[in-house]
Structure 1
Amino acid sequence: MIKAQPHTHSAWTREDWLAYADRVLAGAMKWASPTGARITPPGAEGGYGHDVDGLEGFARTFLLAGFRITGARGVGVDHLIDFYTRGIIAGVDPENPERWVRLDEHAQAKVEAASLALILDMTRPWIWEKLDELTQQRVIDYLAPVVGDATYPPTNWLWFRVVVQTFLRSVGGPWSAQDIEDDLALHDSLQREDGWISDGPERSYDHYVGWALHLYPVLWTAMRGARELAGDRIDRDKKALDRFLQDAVTLIGADGSPLIQGRSLIYRFAAAAPFWAGIIAEVPSVSAGMLRTAAERIIRHFEDHDVPNEQDVLSLGWHDEWCPLAQSYSGPGSPYWAVKGLLGVALPADHPVWQAPAQPLPIETSDELRTVRSAGWIISGTSADGIVRIVNHGTDHAAAGVLVGDSPLYARIGYSTATAPLLDDQAYEQPLEQSVSLVDAHGNATHRAAMELLDTRVDGMVGVSAATWQAHWLDPQWVPQRHGSGLGGEITVAGRLTVNSLVRGPWEVRVVEVNALETTEPLTLRIGGWALSGTNPTGEAVGDIARTTLAELTSETRGLVANQSGRIETRHSASPLGVASAVPLLETPAAQGATVAALISLTGAGTPAATHNPTFTLTHGGGQRVADVLWPDGVHTTTPLTESRIAGQAKR
């Protein structure tokens, strides 16, 4: 479990950063193969096999070694230079039994090649220029299959091809100006409002926005020859990063936890990377002191939870090892992409960031209420308990209009820095926490992927986000490789639902319209609250109130209209935050044309006690419906709801 308490330690010095980085490196290097070409930390073999695992371990730790060598300007780091040089020589030797998997042998090598190329460029005086001509040519030959390869997916992978070809160009290797032009055009096509970037054509907003799609442009422009290729895009990319960071700093809890949402969470403190990118790019709107604090708090959140572990290894998990959090292809070297969050050690001791006064996180000074319009998010952070929450009506890692199963990592209505979505197999088949579903007599719950975002705005002191969707049952088809999306399978449409979420502080008033039902069979409308996970969450349900507690955290669902019943559902081994999970639920018979409202809350230590019983009244006037709400703290608001638009039938 996570306790959302502010960090009270003094700020890290550069020496503290170096010590943590050296610990991570030393812990990984112990698991090197005899030639040093492969690093395979302990753990089960990944879905791509032992050879890929070893390459991942080398390439991803080479990132951190490169940052460390660069920040030291090559002084006092001979052990890293010698170790990784030896591994490179063996890795590109086609006759060596420990050679690396080639780019034309396995697609994952294309990912790792970008780390190799990036750091060979960054450490050019200490590694590349010291390699003999034969090894240099072998490196070029190893990387060369990237040129003209049209099989890179249209996601953050575009930067792997750009980085490798930029390096090849700088050392006299093959490269394609057209490839780079096409990839940069693809990057531009993925950009959305306010500096946010979708990781692909689907509605995919997650940590890849920061640790890949904003990070690589900054690192790329520092590569030899990159500015000749970049043209006038550097200022545009910097402006987008600057705007993104204004939102990103508000998504960190007071305890340093990043938002627990999206795939690849085993990369943990890679979430700190975009803040270092902002420092390197010298963005104007967020101070270097706040950016450094943001990066530090994320790193120290995991250090406080014993990451790396007692073997100084980054395991597959969040705090502790929890393999279901990983993608099906992840291996023991995969978590080392986390080292992107230690990019700051590449900045030398005389860099001004180390003298910049530390500044507190936004959550530590005031409450936060803001929109991320492209993602359909309302961000609500409360300084009293240090928790950041989002309400989500625009992100599902799915294509618009294509009905599939919900991904628990993307399609839930709420995510926070203090809770995690349930991630067992049942969670992919049957949405529960932070959901609104139609449930049949057999307990089958509908999904909402392919929802249509209707609105995201701040109206006075209330954030408003709304979506409509064809609620659909899924007969799932399980596949061996999943990259964050929900399951495919046979779809049956149950009806149409529209939800308006009114957000204020730790509360959400969730207003649900049952626009249409496609069956005459009795159905239950189920509203799920926040899941609390730990050793022993407790719960109780009385009437139309269901409440779960765990240490300082409380999750509650409370009916605001008649005929709702509360209950608690528990799951086991479903969350990276603990062995048991409890979810408060509200249920009511589904009736076409009905409007149902509930209060959904997540509170922690320090949250003021409720002083009023909340109420909800829906009024009509001038062709618009208005929600009149009395909140638990006694504040009264009137908020126009976003009207549903009954869209055409989605594809199945």
Structure 2
Amino acid sequence: MNKYTGWTRAELVELADRSLLALRPWATPGHARFDLPGAAGQSGPIVDGLEAFARSFLAVGFRLSAADSDPHDHASWYAHGLIAGTDRAGAAERGGGADRTGRAELGARAERWPSLVDTPQARVEAAAIAIGLHESRRWIWDALPSSAQERIVEWLAGSVGAWYPESNWQWFHNVTHAFLRSVGGPHDQAKVDEYLEYLDSCYLDEGWYTDGRGGNVDWYAGFVMQLFSLWYCRMSGDHERQLRYAARLKAYVASAADLFGADGAPLYQGRSLVYRHAVVGALWTAAVFDASPLPPGRLRRTCLGAIKYFVDRGAYDEHGLLSQGWHDRFEPMRQSYSGPGSPYWASLGLAGLVLPESHPVWTEPEEPAPIDVGDHVHAIRPIGWIVSGTASDGIVRVTNHRAETPDGENQLYSRFAYSTVTAPVPLPSGAADQAVDNQVAVIDTHGRWSQRPHIKLQVINTHRAESQHVATFAKPSEPGPTLTCVSLVRGAVEVRAVRVEPGGSCVALVVSGYAVPRRPAPGARVGLVSGVTALTGGGRTGHSVHLLASPFGAELEVPWCRFDSPAADQWYVVAVCLGGSTPTWPIFDADQAKVCWPDGSVDEL
């Protein structure tokens, strides 16, 4: 029944209950905040406490939606928090004490939540509360006195007229207004419609969105753009729009479901990765809205596999709290907006609990993912990725030929490749003889290494992609030569060919591979082989070791190949691998510009 994960719906319910109960010792007296240990986010500890409440309340909504009992009384606990958080008088008179971190007890101040008018981050948390209220309506909202309902509506109504940036945040506005409309509260349908139009403009194709028009692509395509769009329809009864969004979600799941390794690990790429199993929220949503292209058992295998991956590797700390990190705590993953409650967006990964025990996603036997039974290579055309999974090692890799990072190289978006078992070196570019991972970079006469903030996709098919980028130098910022890059991918090997276009000059061209820690962290893959070899003459290979750490370990070793004084209009070709063993390398026929693979197949460059 559960050959791959060993988990059922019961294990997911138990995880939800256990994680919610672990938060209670950190609650303020009225339950309106959880003041968790750890460094505050940029909005301050009061907002951090609201964030922990709101995002965990989202889990409560999913947990209670299809439940026939509430043995841990989540409904009553969170109802008290909703009342305290929206109490006009506040709770200063209720006193305090000292919190678990030794700081002055924040609960001694008013527990009333910051207003949406004055606090932008509260607009995000309001959306989580809105969905939580919608899903737990018969447990919480319907049982609240009218005075409490009025105060909650008043707080949520701060969204009316508030500014939301041109990004996934506009979905937070829209689901908040969908709930307000459903309970007869104030809402701005004209602004909702304006935001719906903008969010549609962020849609690329084949299910993928950018986070903002022309922006980057990452897991937010599922975190918010897919999940929240369908939940907006669920809350507003917009059935016509739901059909359109469901079709997009179906296409998204068809490709996103292949971005998980055989061990359940999601692709490590993009920002906000401390949200961990939030990455499967959109997959569950496909089952909720009958929009899954996958058999129910296959979808459950992928979703529960990802959740179990994190649970088994210490995502929940000694207090049962979600930490800042990937496996266990890894503070360098914190971003400026991340507070101790931020990781509880992982609640999105519990969305499948709205499906009752009788749903096929829970009753059908688990089915294997493609990587469980064989190798697969395919392109996700709108976002310029080639995805390669290999059954022998269970690793998924992505070759990246599209990005827009206007402020310079961003290791989470601009690298040439990503995987489910490695993370990029946390540096923008190489220096001296120290190459960072997965770059195609030129070095100028000043010793500066180029970056690739803008990658323009040219052509992509099943296993071949071509792009161009202007090699950009920082400090001071100035453009260098244009580089044309071609990738040919088969199995664990990528052939990476580079041509320096006329009009620019450089001292050297460097092509690097994946960063593998010499000292793997607990739970990380061991025995990884990362290699680069030259397929055209004149290439010198070597390794750089960065005395830095990633969530996968420390002392990050990067293989590279260097070509000195590269000529214009000439192909420089290397092969890059990441896997469990050293592969048999392909051969490049320079006269015919063809790659000859060990299995006898041939690709034209």
- TM-score higher than 0.5 here? yes
Q: Distance in 1 between matches of 2:343 and 2:430?
A: 23
Contact 2:471-2:479 at 8 Å conserved across structures:
yes
Q: Distance in 2 between matches of 1:427 and 1:311?
A: 39
- Match of 2:477, SS? strand
Q: Name 1:464's counterpart in structure 2.
A: 464
Deviations 1:275-317 (A, max 9, x none): 1101101125211111111100000111221221222111111
Q: Name 1:390's counterpart in structure 2.
A: 398
Q: Distance in 2 between matches of 1:136 and 1:338?
A: 27
The one-letter code sitting in structure 2 at the alignment partner of 1:56 is: E
Deviations 1:139-173 (A, max 9, x none): 11111121233x21121111111111111112221
Q: Name 1:561's counterpart in structure 2.
A: 536
**Structure 1 pair 334/156, CA: closer, same or farther in 2 (3 Å)?**
same
1:50-69 mapped onto 2 (5 Å cutoff): 50-69=45-64
Q: Name 2:34's counterpart in structure 1.
A: 39
Contact 2:357-2:363 at 8 Å conserved across structures:
no
Contact 2:577-2:583 at 8 Å conserved across structures:
no
Q: Distance in 1 between matches of 2:327 and 2:555?
A: 16
The one-letter code sitting in structure 1 at the alignment partner of 2:517 is: S
- 2:363 is the counterpart of 1:318: no
Contact 1:92-1:139 at 8 Å conserved across structures:
yes
Q: Distance in 2 between matches of 1:349 and 1:404?
A: 48
1:287-298 mapped onto 2 (5 Å cutoff): 287-298=295-306
- Match of 1:165, SS? helix
- 2:192 is the counterpart of 1:171: no
- Match of 1:90, SS? helix
**Structure 1 pair 550/137, CA: closer, same or farther in 2 (3 Å)?**
closer
**Structure 1 pair 395/283, CA: closer, same or farther in 2 (3 Å)?**
same
**Structure 1 pair 258/466, CA: closer, same or farther in 2 (3 Å)?**
same
Contact 1:408-1:428 at 8 Å conserved across structures:
no
Q: CA deviation at 1:221?
A: 2.3
Deviations 1:1-46 (A, max 9, x none): xxxxxx9655312211111111211222221111110012211112
With the length of structure 1 as denominator, give the TM-score of the two structures: 0.85
Q: Distance in 1 between matches of 2:518 and 2:353?
A: 34
Q: Distance in 2 between matches of 1:516 and 1:29?
A: 64
The one-letter code sitting in structure 2 at the alignment partner of 1:599 is: A
- Match of 1:565, SS? strand
- 2:530 is the counterpart of 1:585: no
Structure 2 segments unaligned to the other structure (5+ residues) = 91-109
Q: Distance in 1 between matches of 2:203 and 2:419?
A: 24
The one-letter code sitting in structure 2 at the alignment partner of 1:119 is: G
Q: Distance in 2 between matches of 1:212 and 1:431?
A: 35
Q: CA deviation at 1:592?
A: 3.6
Q: CA deviation at 1:95?
A: 2.4
Q: Distance in 2 between matches of 1:22 and 1:308?
A: 13
The one-letter code sitting in structure 2 at the alignment partner of 1:629 is: V
The one-letter code sitting in structure 2 at the alignment partner of 1:580 is: E
Q: CA deviation at 1:271?
A: 0.8
Q: Name 1:160's counterpart in structure 2.
A: 172
Q: Return the match for 2:571 from 578, 585, 595.
A: 595
Point out the more displaced range, 298-307 or 567-576.
567-576
Q: Distance in 1 between matches of 2:143 and 2:9?
A: 28
Q: Name 1:420's counterpart in structure 2.
A: 423
Q: Return the match for 2:602 from 637, 640, 645.
A: 637
- 2:267 is the counterpart of 1:301: no
Contact 1:408-1:427 at 8 Å conserved across structures:
no
Q: Name 1:535's counterpart in structure 2.
A: 519
Q: Return the match for 2:527 from 545, 548, 552.
A: 552
Structure 1 segments unaligned to the other structure (5+ residues) = 1-6, 476-489, 538-548, 620-625, 642-652
Contact 2:117-2:158 at 8 Å conserved across structures:
yes
- 2:108 is the counterpart of 1:142: no
- 2:44 is the counterpart of 1:49: yes
Contact 2:408-2:451 at 8 Å conserved across structures:
yes
Q: CA deviation at 1:426?
A: 6.4
Q: Distance in 1 between matches of 2:565 and 2:365?
A: 56
Q: Name 1:543's counterpart in structure 2.
A: none
Deviations 1:112-143 (A, max 9, x none): 00011111122112211222222222111111
Deviations 1:596-623 (A, max 9, x none): 100011112xx6x645x5321234xxxx
Deviations 1:185-231 (A, max 9, x none): 122111112111111113411111112111112222222xx12xx25
Q: Name 1:262's counterpart in structure 2.
A: 270
With the length of structure 2 as denominator, give the TM-score of the two structures: 0.92
Contact 1:493-1:518 at 8 Å conserved across structures:
no
- 2:545 is the counterpart of 1:570: yes
Q: Structure 1 vs Structure 2: percent identity of aligned residues?
A: 36
Q: CA deviation at 1:574?
A: 3.7
1:367-406 mapped onto 2 (5 Å cutoff): 367-396=375-404, 398=405, 404-406=407-409
- Match of 2:319, SS? coil
Q: Return the match for 1:95 from 89, 111, 130.
A: 89
Q: Distance in 2 between matches of 1:177 and 1:148?
A: 11
Contact 2:233-2:241 at 8 Å conserved across structures:
no
Q: Distance in 2 between matches of 1:425 and 1:9?
A: 38
- Match of 1:250, SS? coil
Contact 2:313-2:327 at 8 Å conserved across structures:
yes
The one-letter code sitting in structure 2 at the alignment partner of 1:474 is: A
The one-letter code sitting in structure 1 at the alignment partner of 2:601 is: H
Q: CA deviation at 1:451?
A: 2.2
Point out the more displaced range, 419-428 or 286-295.
419-428
The higher-RCO structure (CA 8 Å, 6+ apart) is: 1
Q: Distance in 1 between matches of 2:263 and 2:11?
A: 19
- Match of 2:590, SS? strand
The one-letter code sitting in structure 2 at the alignment partner of 1:308 is: Y
Aligned pairs, number = 581
